């Protein structure tokens, strides 16, 4: 191959599919390369799909996309060793069409999205790995090298949508090696069970779903969270912690998930299920401050490759699709204006992202990774204290409530001191402001 394209998109996850779809729909000559057997074959996600990002590109996606359940209830649990305290938010508003969030199975969803990309006119080639970027004498990216004979392909712009590892961006020195403190390692299992049992267990109807987000002692003092999502006839359960913490603590992700599944509040939800799938994947969670340079002469970076994950709200695929779409729209506008794909012209991509929810949200939580890295009490001491406080207040034993309140207050002071408590409150404010 030595054909020339308007754009080459590397990767067929949500960011690559979004970019390729928008470019092809605008009539550009697009080549999308995916190393997996098919789009989605190598991808791992919880997985919650946020409709908004997809709707902006494919408004009628609900007609044929493989969707599992729409979410009507969100639970947030703070776990101690044998209890949890939490909030449940369930709304009939979430039960009115058009639904806003769905559970999906990524292998099926990515395949569906890829079919849309092909129908829009892009040439999609799977089982093909991009091994290098081609540059001209001026160091401008002018194409890619793939692992096929004679695999040199040229394009005006190359969009790197190759996920968290982004070996290509590292090789090209667009961004440095991923630091273990900026990346979480997540493991996930899928447990199958009859639909009726699942629905009864979570008090939901045929299409309805429940999401449980968890943090606290399930991560054994490491910075991370757990999750449990309901699919049509299966439950996705998983946990992820920073890679640097796994290294330091010498705990294996698998052992962590095993313990989490045996927690007395989680075990009954999985009872009787048959585990059929186990996967592990990295999630870029370094936040705003860890975002690398995302454009240059002849190249752009979208999705996980650019660290576009909002770990606080567990949003990744929607940021991936949005960055993919905005990158493509930038290219389309430059083509219309007859401008070259230079760094100066592609800078519009960054400024458009700055104006979008993607950068605004990541910027809002920019202090969060650092604060949680160095304050493990938020994953250990506080979950324990709030759970114990709830237990003390709810346990009826003849002790008056005033005495119980004093007992709770002194347990907080004993663990963190008044100064420590005030400092932690300030840190939380800084992390979430």
Ligand X SMILES: Cc1cc2nc3c(=O)[nH]c(=O)nc-3n(C[C@H](O)[C@H](O)[C@H](O)COP(=O)(O)OP(=O)(O)OC[C@H]3O[C@@H](n4cnc5c(N)ncnc54)[C@H](O)[C@@H]3O)c2cc1C
> Which residues contribute to the site for ligand X (CB under 6 A)?
10-16, 33-36, 42-48, 129-130, 161-163, 168, 186, 188, 238, 240, 281, 283, 303-305, 309, 314-318, 320
The distance of closest approach from Cβ of residue 163 to ligand X in the complex, given in angstroms and rounded to an integer, is: 3
Contact of 105 with 66, CB cutoff 8 Å? yes
The distance of closest approach from Cβ of residue 9 to ligand X in the complex, given in angstroms and rounded to an integer, is: 9
Query: In the beta sheet, which residues pair with residue 234?
Result: 192
Give 164's DSSP letter. T
By beta-carbon proximity to ligand X, the closer residue of 162 and 245 is 162
The distance of closest approach from Cβ of residue 70 to ligand X in the complex, given in angstroms and rounded to an integer, is: 14
Give 80's DSSP letter. -
- Concatenating the DSSP letter of every residue in 364-391 gives HTTTHHHHHHT-GGGTTHHHHHHHHHHH
The distance of closest approach from Cβ of residue 305 to ligand X in the complex, given in angstroms and rounded to an integer, is: 6
Residue 185, both tokens: 């390692």
What whole-number distance in Å separates Cα of residue 280 and Cα of residue 326? 29
Give 276's DSSP letter. E
By beta-carbon proximity to ligand X, the closer residue of 12 and 386 is 12
By beta-carbon proximity to ligand X, the closer residue of 48 and 198 is 48
The distance of closest approach from Cβ of residue 392 to ligand X in the complex, given in angstroms and rounded to an integer, is: 35
The distance of closest approach from Cβ of residue 395 to ligand X in the complex, given in angstroms and rounded to an integer, is: 36
The distance of closest approach from Cβ of residue 243 to ligand X in the complex, given in angstroms and rounded to an integer, is: 12
By beta-carbon proximity to ligand X, the closer residue of 350 and 391 is 350
By beta-carbon proximity to ligand X, the closer residue of 240 and 286 is 240
The distance of closest approach from Cβ of residue 317 to ligand X in the complex, given in angstroms and rounded to an integer, is: 3
By beta-carbon proximity to ligand X, the closer residue of 146 and 385 is 146
Place of tokens 């990295």: 282
By beta-carbon proximity to ligand X, the closer residue of 124 and 385 is 124
By beta-carbon proximity to ligand X, the closer residue of 129 and 389 is 129
Helices (H), 73-183: 106-119, 167-171
The distance of closest approach from Cβ of residue 143 to ligand X in the complex, given in angstroms and rounded to an integer, is: 14
Place of tokens 């207050």: 409
What whole-number distance in Å separates Cα of residue 235 and Cα of residue 228? 7
What whole-number distance in Å separates Cα of residue 309 and Cα of residue 290? 11
CA end-to-end distance (rounded Å), the chain: 52
The distance of closest approach from Cβ of residue 82 to ligand X in the complex, given in angstroms and rounded to an integer, is: 26
By beta-carbon proximity to ligand X, the closer residue of 23 and 130 is 130
Beta strand spans in 39-147 (E): 48-50, 69-79, 84-90, 101-103, 123-125, 130-135, 141-146
Residue 164, both tokens: 């968290």
Half-sphere exposure of 45 (CA within 13 A, CB side): 29
Burial of 165: CB neighbours in 10 Å, binned 0-12, 13-18, 19+ = middle
By beta-carbon proximity to ligand X, the closer residue of 47 and 290 is 47
Contact of 94 with 100, CB cutoff 8 Å? yes
Half-sphere exposure of 51 (CA within 13 A, CB side): 19
Backbone angles phi, psi at 134, to 5 degrees: -90, 140
């Amino acid at each position: 191959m030595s054909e020339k394209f308007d754009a080459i998109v590397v990767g067929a996850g949500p960011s690559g599919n979004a970019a390729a779809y928008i470019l092809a729909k605008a009539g550009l000559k697009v080549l999308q390369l995916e190393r997996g057997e098919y789009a989605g074959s190598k991808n791992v996600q919880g997985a919650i799909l946020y409709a908004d990002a997809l709707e902006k590109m494919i408004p009628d996606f609900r007609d044929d996309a493989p969707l599992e359940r729409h979410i009507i209830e969100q639970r947030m649990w703070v776990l101690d060793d044998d209890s949890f305290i939490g909030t449940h938010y369930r709304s009939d508003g979430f039960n009115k069409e058009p639904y806003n969030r769905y559970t999906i199975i990524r292998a099926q969803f990515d395949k569906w999205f890829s079919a849309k990309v092909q129908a829009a006119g892009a040439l999609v080639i799977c089982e093909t790995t991009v091994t290098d970027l081609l540059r001209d004498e001026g160091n401008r990216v002018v194409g890619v090298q793939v692992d096929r004979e004679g695999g040199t392909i040229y394009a005006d712009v190359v969009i790197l949508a190759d996920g968290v590892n982004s070996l290509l961006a590292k090789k090209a020195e667009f961004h440095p090696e991923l630091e273990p403190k900026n990346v979480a390692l997540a493991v996930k299992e899928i447990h199958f069970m009859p639909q009726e049992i699942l629905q009864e267990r979570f008090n939901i109807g045929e299409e309805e779903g429940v999401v449980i987000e968890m943090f606290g002692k399930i991560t054994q003092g490491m910075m991370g969270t757990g999750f449990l999502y309901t699919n049509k006839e299966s439950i996705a359960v998983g946990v992820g912690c920073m890679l640097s913490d796994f290294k330091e603590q010498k705990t294996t992700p698998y052992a962590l998930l095993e313990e989490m599944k045996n927690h007395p509040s989680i075990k009954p939800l999985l009872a009787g299920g048959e585990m059929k799938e186990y996967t592990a994947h990295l999630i870029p969670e370094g936040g705003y401050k860890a975002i690398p340079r995302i454009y240059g002469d002849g190249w752009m970076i979208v999705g996980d490759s650019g660290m576009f994950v909002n770990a606080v709200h567990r949003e990744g695929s929607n940021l991936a699709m949005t960055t993919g779409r905005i990158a493509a729209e930038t290219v389309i506008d430059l083509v219309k204006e007859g401008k070259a794909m230079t760094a100066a012209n592609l800078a519009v991509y960054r400024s458009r992202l700055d104006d979008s929810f993607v950068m605004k949200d990541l910027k809002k939580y920019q202090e969060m990774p650092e604060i949680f890295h160095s304050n493990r009490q938020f994953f250990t001491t506080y979950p324990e204290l709030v759970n114990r406080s709830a237990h003390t207040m709810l346990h009826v034993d003849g002790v008056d409530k005033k005495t119980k309140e004093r007992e709770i207050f002194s347990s907080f002071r004993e663990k963190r001191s008044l100064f420590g408590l005030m400092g932690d409150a300030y840190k939380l404010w800084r992390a979430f402001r």
